[in-house]
Amino acid sequence: MAYQIFHGTVIHSLGPSDLIILESALLVVGANGKIINLVEDTPKDKVPSILSSLDIPSSALRDVRYLTRGQFLIPGFVDTHNHAPQWAQRGLGQSMHILDWLEQVTFPNEARFRDPAYARRVYSSCVDGFLKQGITTASYYGSLHAEATKILADICLEKGQRALIGKCNMDRNAPEYYRDANAAASLADTEDCIAHVRRIDPEGVLLKHVLTPRFAISCSPELLGGLGVLAAANTDLPIQTHFNEAEQEMKFTQELFPQFKGSEADLYAHYGLLGERSILAHCCHMSEHEMSRVAELGCGVAHCPISNMTVGGGFMAAPVREFLRRGIKVGLGTDSGGGFSSSILDAMRQALVASNAREVMSGGEHKGLNIGELFYLATLGGAKVCSLDSRIGNFEVGKEFDALFIDANALGVMTILDDEDSIRTIFDKFVMTGDDRNIKEVYIRGRSVKS
């Protein structure tokens, strides 16, 4: 099919406070998977003449998809923080402190990925599960195993998911059965994974390797320094790590790196791992210094409200309103399986809860988020965090068509529609009560990956 053409309601964001609802839009996608035109306020009977004026052949008319009431297009969801090997352990170890959870639940599970057959089975289910839920882009932490990480990349490419994929670097403070032999071995495996991703997707159409020090606790200074050298030599590669997640983690980090006086920002910056390409997961406990450094260096924050309230130790509500006020890039992460849910819709809802809690905790200074802002975090905000906003995140002409076809009338548990419901009311009902049954179709670069 040379063109994909949709007529009906199109909803996307241009900014945190700029939710756009176009009720009679004409959206045209070219054969290359990019958006050619988005024409607003198009009466249905004018579609043929408008397509003709756009030099689109009349034969394309038979392929126009006319959306009915309750159906609309939104950009694909972006999951900025996700542990692919934890797909099979979601929901386990809830309420545990972070380091205990890693030792007792996560490390034994992730060690199983030394078996390529096991990795292939779990990762195939994982990618299918996220696509089913409309996650068109994911930033994945792999296990420490190079072979399993390459398998994850192969599966993402085969199934058509846009992904950042990182071999997890960890050469200390982990069980002997689950840690890199040393810094040199960890770096060699990382370079092997980088080369593999570039070999299978040389133009970076869907995939990039992401440098992935698990966190400073699990990385020796030699390993962090080596990753910094790789980051400097490969300026196209993003970087991801956990950052100021939980008090237990922060205290241990300070004991290991006392020279940085408790500043994880200064620590990662020292090793060349902090900048515009950095995706910092959690950022729950932020001093003025940390906040200023993250803003100054252009880092992105992966906000993971579900895991912040169920694993780690305490009710951790990140200061998202303050991030937005300072112009810091923020997106949502499911943090599966620290987060019990792999749904970005659930992450949006929990982000609302967290923001309301933060409003109380801040004495009213950090106002709670609204639904438009939650939607921004799940789409364009996440694209910015992953440095992909020039390609995806909304429906601007020239961007790639990563999109979800939503049907609010689908059988499921979403709040039923009333005759008097406006498009905005229907959208709000979907965000707050819809699920994967309402996500009828998923497109990545114009390719259908769920229907």
pLDDT digits (tens, 9 = 90+) for 357-411: 999 989 999 999 999 999 999 999 999 999 999 999 999 999 999 999 999 999 9
> What is the per-residue pLDDT for 73?
99
316 band by pLDDT with thresholds 50, 70 and 90: confident
pLDDT digits (tens, 9 = 90+) for 173-197: 999 999 999 999 999 999 999 999 9
> What is the per-residue pLDDT for 61?
85
pLDDT digits (tens, 9 = 90+) for 151-172: 999 999 999 999 999 999 999 9
Segment 301-306 shows an average pLDDT of 97
What is the secondary structure of 261-286 as a DSSP string? TT-HHHHHHHTT--STTEEEEE--S-
Segment 278-285 shows an average pLDDT of 96
Residue 418, Cβ density class (10 Å: 0-12 exposed, 13-18 middle, ≥19 buried): exposed
315 band by pLDDT with thresholds 50, 70 and 90: confident
**CA dihedral defined by 118, 124, 127, 128, rounded to 10 degrees?**
-140
| Residue 1: pLDDT over 60 | no
**CA dihedral defined by 95, 101, 106, 108, rounded to 10 degrees?**
-130
User: Considering only CA atoms, which of 213, 262, 275, 271 is closest in space to residue 242?
Assistant: 213
Cβ proximity of 237 and 194 under 8 Å? yes
| Residue 311: pLDDT over 90 | no
User: Considering only CA atoms, which of 343, 361, 359 is closest in space to residue 306?
Assistant: 343
pLDDT digits (tens, 9 = 90+) for 331-351: 999 998 888 999 999 999 999
- Give percent of the chain with pLDDT exceeding 90: 91
22 band by pLDDT with thresholds 50, 70 and 90: very high
CATH architecture of 4-75+394-450: Roll (2.30)
Residues in the chain: 451
CATH topology of domain 77-385: TIM Barrel (3.20.20)
Strands 77-83 and 162-166 come out as unpaired
Say which residue the tokens 């089975």 belong to.
Answer: 121
2 band by pLDDT with thresholds 50, 70 and 90: confident
47-56, 155-164, 421-430: least confident range: 47-56
51 band by pLDDT with thresholds 50, 70 and 90: very high
**13-30 as b/e, with b when 16 or more CB fall inside 10 Å?**
beebeebbbbbbbbbbbe
pLDDT digits (tens, 9 = 90+) for 104-143: 999 999 999 999 999 999 999 999 999 999 999 999 999 9
Segment 302-317 shows an average pLDDT of 86
Q: What residue ranges do the domains of the chain occupy?
A: 4-75+394-450, 77-385
| Residue 325: pLDDT over 70 | yes
Whole-number mean pLDDT of the chain? 96
Residue 238, Cβ density class (10 Å: 0-12 exposed, 13-18 middle, ≥19 buried): buried
Segment 423-436 shows an average pLDDT of 98
